[in-house]
Amino acid sequence: MHHRTISGTAALLVLLTMLCSACGAQEKKDAATQNAGAAAGADKGWVTLASGGRLYYEVAGGGKGDTIVVPGAVYWSSALAPLAQNHTVIFYDLLGRGRSDTASAGRIAMDSIVGDLEALRNHFHLGRMGLVGVSVGGLLTAAYAAAHPAQVARLVLINPVPPTRDIQSKYHPAERNTRVDSAAQRELMRMRESAGGGNREALCRQFWKASGGWFVGDRAAASRIDPTWCAVPNENLDATLLWLGYLGSTSGPWDLTSAARSIKAPTLVVQAERDYFANPEGAKAWAAAIPGARLLTLPGVGHLALFEKPDAVNAPLKEFFDGKWPAGAATAK
């Protein structure tokens, strides 16, 4: 499988830049700074990669049922915690994200990301595992499932970035123009222009105050987004844009359509009805490309449905990982 055709995440970089046009260059940080605040213990730690760097992980529900792996611990370890009621869930951060180590541009590439997930699977001596990918994580977990179909028992893609760059790049919903808090955006720009460029955590929080409405179905639900990840250096605005830029620069336009046909695991694609970030047509394309996949549409919610209405997402996921198709999940038309 040629992952070079997948990445093209420059399109995502463009989208985020539209929301924060004043983001500057990210300063280099050492590993000790990146991992500040990460607790040691049997349920938290790091996987040291042979290729360099460490992946931060957290284990929930240890020893229960099958194992589910979720990239994006810094975002989803609380939102998807209900899965740990009946399963062992390993949340981890991608290299360069969350509390994992930073990395050079060459390491933020699709082949490397897929290889890192395989290294994590081997570290925990897992056989077949379940996977849950949210947003960009949906693209990445699908890439892994296509490259290692025998290692994936069940796959869930939640509001995934589409399988092709073309689907994403032509998505320009009118709602985007009405979902930014202009006063908060002006304050963000003022903060960026202040001496020293402003406090990075404060800037990150201000970004979400200005742009949170873009990521929910009901604008009032933007207040439910508490960007605790802003306290983690790898997740401030500059760091996020730099990471996406690296991923985009190491690869060309992506097209996973053919590769997706190699996925063997039962696959549930969950798509928010009011997703103004990832093109909902992408979810349909994933469901059509992956053999036997089913699509579940969640009415009224947006891209960050896990914060907006967490039960609406977790309930069907729990059902799916218990071996049943949730009500409303249907094959793509």
Average pLDDT over residues 138-149: 97
Higher pLDDT, 236 or 272: 272
Model confidence band, residue 167 (pLDDT cutoffs 50, 70, 90): very high
Q: Output Rg (C-alpha) for the chain, integer angstroms.
A: 19
Which amino acid, residue 89?
Answer: V
Distances (CA, A) of 277 to 89, 136, 171, 185, 270: 27, 11, 8, 18, 14
Look up residue 149 and give its two tokens.
């179909």
- Nearest CA to 239 out of 142, 132, 98 is that of 98
Q: Please give the Cα distance from 96 to 200 (Å, whole number).
A: 17
Share of the chain above pLDDT 70, in %: 85
Own/partner long-range contacts of 195-202 (Cβ < 8 Å, ≥24 apart): 197/24, 200/230, 200/233, 200/236, 200/237, 200/238, 201/230, 201/231, 201/236
So where are the chain's domains? 3-7+43-172+249-331
Q: Please give the Cα distance from 74 to 141 (Å, whole number).
A: 17
Token pair 């925990």: residue: 124
Average pLDDT over residues 31-44: 43
Highest mean pLDDT out of 41-45, 184-188, 237-241: 184-188
Mean pLDDT of the chain: 87
Q: Please give the Cα distance from 142 to 229 (Å, whole number).
A: 24
Q: 3-7+43-172+249-331 adopts what CATH topology? A: Rossmann fold (3.40.50)
pLDDT above 50 for 277: yes
Q: Please give the Cα distance from 95 to 113 (Å, whole number).
A: 8
Question: Is residue 133 within 8 Å of residue 158, measured between CB atoms?
Answer: yes
Q: What is the pLDDT of residue 247?
A: 78
Q: Please give the Cα distance from 275 to 303 (Å, whole number).
A: 5
Q: Please give the Cα distance from 64 to 294 (Å, whole number).
A: 26
pTM: 0.88
Q: Please give the Cα distance from 98 to 72 (Å, whole number).
A: 7
